[in-house]
Amino acid sequence: MKSKKLDKKTAKIYKNLLLDKREELLGDISHISEETLKKSQKDASGDISGYTFHMADVATDNYDREFSLGLASKERTVLNEINHALGKLEEGGFGSCETCKKPISKIRLKAVPYATLCLKCQQNKEKKI
């Protein structure tokens, strides 16, 4: 079952949702990267003394850095999904489940405009993981 093509007004609404989400993510990724990668350990801690760091402080800083980089990586994944959805919007395949080819509900697309699977197929995918 193939979904019908979106009208121009609806397509524009979804395109704006996707573009807004993309801008938000780009800002988040930039901020996380800047905060995580450009600061030295002394700068991050606010320590301006000449004393060395305690091992526990170093471990905590490393954990925080890894956590932040993990967040940025997940946001880059979502960014790729948004770009994929924008491409499908231009090609006319937006809003169709990539597994069963049925239309994805409007409620789902408003919540997750870059969704590629209908709710049923997404649930089946998550059960397999």
Give the DSSP H or E segment for 117: none
Mean pLDDT score of the chain: 82
Tokens 């990668």 identify what position? 37
Beta carbons of 120 and 24 less than 8 angstroms apart: no
| Cα–Cα nearest to 76, from 33, 43, 126 | 33
pLDDT tens per residue, range 39-80: 655 555 555 554 556 677 777 777 777 777 777 778 889 999
pLDDT number for residue 51:
52
pLDDT number for residue 3:
46
Measured in residues, the chain has a length of 129
pTM over 0.75: no
pLDDT number for residue 49:
53
